[in-house]
Structure 1
Amino acid sequence: MVQRQRSKEIRMLKKTLALVMFAVLSVSAFAAQAKTVEIEGMNSLKFSKENITVKPGEEVTIKLTNTTDLPESAMAHNWILLAADADAQAVDEAAAQAKDNDYVPKDMSDQILAHTGLVAGGETDEVTFTAPEEPGDYEYICTFPGHLAAGMKGTLTVKEG
């Protein structure tokens, strides 16, 4: 009788441990997923989100959607995250010569941390990247001609907690 009770207790303990392990693994998998930020590129030449906060080294997905009804030649958008010391104006000027590369200048790749492709009205593109380890503010811009000059930019802030 005592042995049977002991066997039952051991089985219960094993089931409990299995459930605890499942819970721990589930939480770990959830925590490892990328933070997704949905941003709209608007006719007002603004991003719908001009401030994003992430943790150092966090995996981030930016999902850019263009909400315009205008033709692509008039109102397309991209999202480009710049290095901390990048010159946004210089990147934008170089981008004007990079139409065939979605206005992303290949020769300035050392100043660009991540970018989407160019999206026309109703289109969406996304990019997943690892946030910089160095806390601070990182500018993001749209390099479709004239958009940065009109104020289409924002700040990705990297900070603990």
Structure 2
Amino acid sequence: MKTSLSITLLSVGTFLFSHAASANECELSIEANDMMQFSKKSLSAPSSCKEISVTLKHTGKLPVTTMGHNWVLSKAADVQAIATDGMSAGANNSYVKPDDSRVLAVSKVIGGGGQTTVTFSTEQLKQGDNYKFFCSFPGHFAIMQGTFTLS
């Protein structure tokens, strides 16, 4: 009886731990600073994630109007066009053209000390496709970008 109870508790504990670990794999974080740098050059999440949350933390001190940053996800081939179109979209639209179908996820623009989270569905992502994340604040995308992989 005691052995059976121990095995049951161990099984439940293992299930809960593995479930929590997989949920954490779907929650990513990245930082940006006043030197126009992301803290990571690549991010990845398992294809088993139905949704992915990315938290962006601005570790700098400059205000949003001077050194704002956001996190945008798109196919690699679309980055430059999205960033160019975003300049005319303005700050109120997080420097992303409204309803741009090329944009897979976009956070709000934050200034120094700020933090924001964007959550998006993985339905439109395909394993093996080339994705990039970048900052669409004017002039930032060429330097502030990295690869995103669904593994």
- The partner residue of 2:112 within 115, 121, 126 is 121
Give the TM-score normalised by structure 1.
Answer: 0.78
Provide, for residues 47-75 of structure 1, a one-character-per-residue CA deviation record: whole Å limited to 9, x for no partner.
Answer: 11111233224343221111222222110
CA distance in 2, matches of 1:79, 1:156: 12
Matched, 1:12 2:2: yes
Check conservation: 1:34, 1:60, Cα contact below 8 A.
no
Q: Which runs of 5+ in 2 are unaligned?
A: none
CA RMSD of aligned residues (A): 2.1
Check conservation: 2:37, 2:144, Cα contact below 8 A.
yes
Q: Aligned-pair distance for 1:13?
A: 5.0
Q: Aligned-pair distance for 1:23?
A: 1.9
The residue type paired with residue 92 of structure 1 is A
Provide, for residues 105-145 of structure 1, a one-character-per-residue CA deviation record: whole Å limited to 9, x for no partner.
Answer: 2131x211112111111000012334434223311111111
- Residue identity over aligned pairs, in percent, reads 32
Q: Secondary structure at the match of 2:140?
A: coil
Matched, 1:148 2:141: yes
Q: Which runs of 5+ in 1 are unaligned?
A: 1-10
Larger radius of gyration: 1
**Residues matched between the structures, number:** 146
Q: Secondary structure at the match of 1:96?
A: helix
The residue type paired with residue 145 of structure 1 is P
